[in-house]
Structure 1
Amino acid sequence: MPSISKRVLGALALVVALPLAATACGGGGDSGDTIVIGTKFDQPGLGLKNPDGTMSGFDVDVAKYVAQQLGYPEDKIEWKEAPSGQRETLIQNDQVKFIAATYSITDARKEKVDFAGPYLITGQSLLVRSDNTDITGEASLQNNKKLCSVSGSTPAQRIKDKFPGVQLQQYDTYSACIEALKNGAIDAVTTDEVILAGYAAQSPGAFKVVGGTFSEENYGIGLKKGDTELLTQINDALVKMEQDGSWKKAWDENLGPAGIPAPQPPQINQS
């Protein structure tokens, strides 16, 4: 009988342990929990995983501030890479609590996820090699140029809709587009100006941003649709970040070196 008792006790211990393990990796708010946040890992100045494993960038600092306001210090954050084409899926499958990853608020996306914010307004632009002289803006793209953007991104969709004469190459990451631009496989990279400026600053003298902006992108923090409590908490945190100077400090530290002055923080859509 002792062996049966041990098996029963072992099974009971497993039953008790499983729910405890499940709650430990979620976002319940207890001090012992961690929170999983999605961001980009390959966008200098915005969301970048450094060689030593640390995270840096404006989006990262916004996410850290929000997490702190939710009760999660930096050492309780688990970062998860959130490529453009996977963001809605990551949120819908509860793989992340929220995503701050150059995530433009669009009507199509709002059918699948909710957005807090916006916390930044930017616009689509073009990045070319510094010696390029024939691409000066969006009108230059119609001459059968090879243009690179990221699958699932708003900029890629805009190029398809507005510039059907362009040879659009779609990669999984912007860093792959940058490599293709560097080696001459493509003529230009298109995405939001703030993203392009980060890459230009990372490789001084190699690239230049041209043509100004030809869209308006409102970056928001994506979260599970219907989670109104979390939505309100994140919006409150963003308002506080703008008001106490942390927003401008994050901009100056991460994007100031790219030569872009801090814009006026946008109005947060509070309910």
Structure 2
Amino acid sequence: MKVFKTGAVAAAVVALALTATACGGSSTSGKAEGGETGGAKKDKVVIGIKFDQPGVGLKTPEGTFTGFDVDVATYVAKELGYQPDQIEFKQAISAQRETLIANGDVKFIVASYSITDKRKEKVDFAGPYFLAHQDLLVRADESTITKAEDLNKKKLCSVTGSTSAQNVKKTLAPEADLLELQGYSECLTGLENKTVDALTTDNSILAGFAAQEKNKGKFKLTGLSLSNENYGIGLKKGDKELQTKINAALKKMASDGAWEAAVTKNFGPAGYKSEPAPQITEGS
């Protein structure tokens, strides 16, 4: 009798397993591209941002993230179905942004990423979502730098891979002594220590640095508009579906007041006056 009972139990187990398989009971089957799991919670999404740009994209000593780009990225991720606790922010250094996208290390990048024809050869953009202008940050007591040409024979700092550095060196002040570093914080230290005479990048980024409590009264923007910088969200080339979804999220953010609220929160303390939310042009 023991042998008979054991065989019956084994047969019943096999029958139950076959029934479960026939019903499609696998916990991993049906997982959609992009992290969707058939009605279940989505997986995390990895988004590239800057870690060293106060007011734009900053990782604090406590490990939290703040800035306008962070708010935009969080809003877009929400519209794609991700909650804040499902977002992993990854540092996107200027010179590495295209590589991060091409390698699939990030889903998309929101990192003061100016849309240019050269970059569009390697990646696609959604947006633009912000219009900035290149400017100069100098020491508060600086009086000899009032226009771009004044940078000739002076020490200028910017970040490797940025459009701002190339714009100055090629067209605005070809005789400037250009120093390119990995981050704007290093440039700011040089400006404070008088090893460089000016820092150049977008006025939104410069305003963020100038507005920091530790920097108040030390620096000033010259108020120049040396270029137009349309910030876009970078994504893998050819991903039209994601591009369309992000564009829809950006339009919604501008229309429901969230975009203006993010501008006020992140740039207001510096008295920075932003342009209105730009019209979406990429992918149209």
TM-score (norm 1): 0.89
- Determine the C-alpha separation between the residues in 2 that align with 1:238 and 1:214: 26
Unaligned stretches of 5+ residues in structure 1: 1-19
Cα deviation, residue 137, structure 1: 1.9
TM-score (norm 2): 0.85
Q: Which moved more, 1:258-267 or 1:82-91?
A: 258-267
Q: In the alignment, which residue of structure 1 is the partner of 2:24? A: none
What are the residue-to-residue correspondences of 1:117-156 with 2, within 5 Å? 117-142=127-152, 144-156=153-165
Higher Cα Rg, which structure: 2
Q: In the alignment, which residue of structure 1 is the partner of 2:227? A: 215
Work out which of the residue numbers 201, 222, 230 in structure 1 matches 2:242.
230
Q: In the alignment, which residue of structure 2 is the partner of 1:28? A: 35
- Determine the C-alpha separation between the residues in 2 that align with 1:53 and 1:46: 16
- Determine the C-alpha separation between the residues in 2 that align with 1:39 and 1:29: 23
Specify the SS of the correspondent of 2:118.
helix
Specify the SS of the correspondent of 1:255.
helix
Q: In the alignment, which residue of structure 1 is the partner of 2:184? A: 174
- Determine the C-alpha separation between the residues in 2 that align with 1:85 and 1:243: 33
- Residue by residue over 1:25-62, the C-alpha shift from the partner in whole angstroms, topping out at 9 and shown as x without a partner, is x8323424000000000100000001211100000000
Q: In the alignment, which residue of structure 2 is the partner of 1:64? A: 74
- Residue by residue over 1:139-185, the C-alpha shift from the partner in whole angstroms, topping out at 9 and shown as x without a partner, is 2112x000000110100111221121000000011111011111111
- Determine the C-alpha separation between the residues in 2 that align with 1:148 and 1:233: 37
Work out which of the residue numbers 51, 63, 66 in structure 2 matches 1:41.
51
Unaligned stretches of 5+ residues in structure 2: 1-27
Alpha-carbon contact 1:138-1:211 (below 8 Å) kept: no
- Residue by residue over 1:59-108, the C-alpha shift from the partner in whole angstroms, topping out at 9 and shown as x without a partner, is 00000000000000100000000010000000000000000000000000
Amino acid across the alignment from 1:224: K
Alpha-carbon contact 1:146-1:166 (below 8 Å) kept: yes
- Residue by residue over 1:103-154, the C-alpha shift from the partner in whole angstroms, topping out at 9 and shown as x without a partner, is 0000000000000000001111100010111111212112x00000011010
Aligned residues: 248
After the TM superposition, which parts of structure 1 deviate over 4 Å for at least 4 consecutive aligned residues? none
- Residue by residue over 1:2-45, the C-alpha shift from the partner in whole angstroms, topping out at 9 and shown as x without a partner, is xxxxxxxxxxxxxxxxxx6xx89x83234240000000001000
Specify the SS of the correspondent of 1:140.
helix
Q: In the alignment, which residue of structure 1 is the partner of 2:169? A: 160
- Determine the C-alpha separation between the residues in 2 that align with 1:141 and 1:112: 32
- Determine the C-alpha separation between the residues in 2 that align with 1:200 and 1:211: 13
Alpha-carbon contact 1:137-1:211 (below 8 Å) kept: no
* 1:266 equivalent in alignment to 2:251: no
- Residue by residue over 1:168-206, the C-alpha shift from the partner in whole angstroms, topping out at 9 and shown as x without a partner, is 000011111011111111000000111111111111101
Cα deviation, residue 262, structure 1: 4.1
Cα deviation, residue 263, structure 1: 2.6
- Determine the C-alpha separation between the residues in 2 that align with 1:211 and 1:241: 28
- Determine the C-alpha separation between the residues in 2 that align with 1:220 and 1:235: 10
Amino acid across the alignment from 2:159: V
* 1:246 equivalent in alignment to 2:258: yes
- Determine the C-alpha separation between the residues in 2 that align with 1:32 and 1:108: 34
